[in-house]
Every structure is written in structure tokens, then in C-alpha cells.
Chain A
Amino acid sequence: KQEVTQIPAALSVPEGENLVLNCSFTDSAIYNLQWFRQDPGKGLTSLLLIQSSQREQTSGRLNASLDKSSGRSTLYIAASQPGDSATYLCAVRGAGNNRKLIWGLGTSLAVNP
């Protein structure tokens, strides 16, 4: 059974730092992995989607990597800003006909001015 873990559960950094959020999964037979952002009291916003055949995806200051063999993905945020403060969630979609996402509990990020 696929399980997704995100460590740490919470992170507080000063503005300007480069930081890495971690996501690990137990079954390497995945179709893709998606990173989301959730602001307090709001819905989820898709940040990056990495297909199983890809090693990384980039969008602006965000870079997500995928290492299927070790069951890990990282979300790198460059030059963090207070506006980056939010909860970041990763979700894994299994291979085959499985259309369901398996979710981590998220990392709550606070970027302090």
C-alpha cells in the first residue's frame, strides 16, 4: 500500500533563504507526482507535476525533482519570500489504471521578513 510522508511537518526560515521540502513514498511504481500549495483557509493550487519518466520540473523559483528508485521527491524554493508562506503538499498517483492520488500531510512553511 502506497504511503506518502512529508518531513518536516513545519519549517520556519528567514526571508532570502534557499530551502528544500521533502516528500517520500513507499512504492516506486508511480505514474506521476504533484506538488501543491495551500494558503490558510483556501483551496489547493497546483505548483508542479512530474511524470514518472522525468527527473525534474521547474517553474520560476521552484524546482521539483523525482528519484523513483529511492522513493523521494524534493521541492526546492530559491530566495524565499514571505509570500511563500503556506502549506506545501505532495501527492503521488499510482501506475496502471489507478486514478487516485495518495497524499502526504504537508509541510507548513513560514518565511519571516
Chain B
Amino acid sequence: NAGVTQTPKFQVLKTGQSMTLQCAQDMNHNSMYWYRQDPGMGLRLIYYSASEGTTDKGEVPNGYNVSRLNKREFSLRLESAAPSQTSVYFCASTRERNEQFFGPGTRLTVL
């Protein structure tokens, strides 16, 4: 079991560029999540997907879109990156009893 995997690990973008962060889990979990983590702000939920085919906004969805491609994969897209989106992005998934498991993160810098 690889658990939750994320690609890429690091990315540098220029303002206005677009990119997609990929996330996959091999634990057959129904729910998947995207968070961002910033110093002093803790973890903030961007979007989540309770099951394949459904997505919902979290606390900070503006500037992001998501796709739950299938049960395994949940991608996060930045259509027009802004410096305020410089952050560390984590994908997570949840099993029964709602224990949450995290990927290693993507460190994104927007210049």
C-alpha cells in the first residue's frame, strides 16, 4: 500500500500560470480532501469529496477547482495562480471510523 500519494512534490509558478496538483489513494476510501497549510494559520480545508462524483467547498475555495476523477483520484487545479496561493498543499483521505490519512504534500511557490 502506497497510501496517499501526491505529485509534484515542489512547484514554482509565475503569477497567472495554471497547474493541477494530483492526488491518489489506494486504500479504497470514499472521502478525499484538499488542505493548504500556512504558518500561523494552521490547516485550512479547500475542497472535499465525500464520494466519487461529489465535491463540496471548504473554508477557502476561491481560486481553486477540483475533480474527483474516480474513487482513487482527486485533483486540485489553480486556473490563474496568485502569490497568495503560495503554500503547502496536502491531500488526505478518510476510512471507516473517519480516521484521516495524509499525503506528503506539495510545496508551491507563486512568484
Distance (Å) between the CB of A69 and the closest chain B CB? 21
Q: Which size bracket describes the interface of B in this complex?
A: 20 to 34
Taking a contact as CB atoms closer than 8 A, the residue among B58, B99, B103, B104 that contacts A34 in the complex is B99
Within 8 A of A (CB), among B17-35: 31
Cα of A34 to Cα of B99 in the assembled complex, Å = 7
Contact assessment for B105 and A34 in the assembled complex, using a CB-CB cutoff below 8 Å:
no
In the complex, how many residue pairs between chain A and chain B have their CB atoms under 8 Å apart? 47
B109 within 8 A of A: no
Interface of B: prevailing SS: strand
Interface of A: prevailing SS: strand
19 residue pairs of the A-B complex, CB under 8 angstroms, read A31-B98, A34-B100, A36-B102, A42-B104, A43-B90, A43-B102, A44-B90, A44-B92, A46-B99, A46-B101, A49-B97, A89-B43, A91-B43, A99-B48, A99-B94, A100-B48, A101-B45, A103-B42, A106-B42
**A-B pairs with lowest CB-CB distance, top 4:** A44-B102, A43-B104, A43-B102, A103-B43
Q: Which residues of B does A touch, CB under 8 Å?
A: 31, 40, 42-43, 45, 48, 50, 58, 90, 92, 94, 97-105
